[in-house]
A = this chain, B = another copy of it.
Amino acid sequence: MLIKKSAKNASLPKKNASLSQKNTPLLKKNASLSKKNAPLSKKITPLPPENSSDPRLPRYLQVRDDLLQRIALRSWAADEALPSEDKLAAEYEIAVGTMRKVLDALVTDGVVDRVRGRGTFVARAAERSSMLRFVRQHGKAKNQLPTAEIRSMTSAIPPAAVAEKLKLKPRDKALYLHRTRSLDNEIVLSEHIWLPLARFRKLQKYLKSNSPPSLYPVYESECEVLVSRAIDDLTAKPLNRANASVFKLKTKTMAICVERLMLDHAGEPVEWRTSFVPAERFQYSAEVR
């Protein structure tokens, strides 16, 4: 937010002479452009200065980082359009072409979706990051919808390894969920989920009276937490007694263990999850370029 127009830019082409004096802030707060659209200022949440990115970076990266912050702070609901290219370009005092470069980069990062004629929207990672993509949907009842069951829920100080993943301070509590997912009345997934309690208090209340099929949309609607990307780590391990009993399988049956760290659009950790799929039910596809 504190990035200035560099001297080289200020003294560039003759045409631009009138455009701006030096030391213009990156984001113009409420400038003359609101002459037509009065309440444009509504969404502009000034950020603390520590969030500024390196002023030596290209402008489009600085603007991208700033937009990313505003998205992570939920300046726009997931089904609300961001300001148009023109307006954003005017806010940041950059050319529309540069603003397009910023938005295109956010599209390829999966942060926003753009729809011609409608606008630019904050993207949701929910569907493509479903854990069910590790599960084979075999044969019969292929149209069956998956179901989910919360088997236990507590809040506690998490193990040190989990606390580290979630960047929690030593005595910060976390919400713990044990959840199973079923396909065609067969349990196919057993999940141990840890969430920073500070951001997820409302979830605890909500889950006492609701049993939603997916969690990520609830994180969004109840806790204003929008997930952006997941880092998954797969290994194969024999099931311990507790997990085996969940699947009604023998202890030491081989299973695939997926350890997932889920991040928000600002890159902050949001969830740590350890999931088990019996080896028989495991399947996964990936394309490598």
Contact = CB atoms under 8 A, between A and B. Distances in A.
B235 A136 contact: yes
Interface string A245-289: 000000000101000000000000000000000011011111111
A122 to B, nearest CB: 13
Contacts of A108: 108
A108 to B, nearest CB: 6
Interface in A203-252: 228-236
Nearest to A235: B283
Given A136-B235, A236-B256, A254-B236, A230 B282 contact: no
Q: Copies per complex?
A: 2
A128 interface: yes
Contact of A129 (B109, B236, B283, B288): B288
Interface residues of A, number: 28
A289 B109 CA distance: 7
Nearest to A279: B236
A125 interface: yes
B233 A285 contact: yes
Contacts of A285: 231-234
A55 interface: no
A83 interface: no
Contacts of A229: 287-289
A287 B231 contact: yes
A146 interface: no
A288 B232 contact: yes
A138 to B, nearest CB: 11
Q: Select the residue from A108, A234, A283, A288 with max chain B CB neighbours within 10 A.
A: A288
Contact of A289 (B110, B280, B288): B110
Interface string A97-114: 000000000001110000
A128 B256 CA distance: 23
A28 B97 CA distance: 28
Contacts of A125: 288-289
Given A108-B108, A128-B288, A254-B254, A236 B233 contact: no
Contact of A233 (B230, B233, B254, B283): B283
Contacts of A280: 236
Q: Select the residue from A110, A228, A254 with max chain B CB neighbours within 10 A.
A: A254
Given A234-B284, A235-B284, 15 more contacts: A110-B289, A125-B289, A128-B288, A136-B235, A229-B288, A230-B287, A230-B288, A231-B287, A232-B285, A232-B287, A232-B288, A233-B285, A234-B282, A235-B282, A236-B279
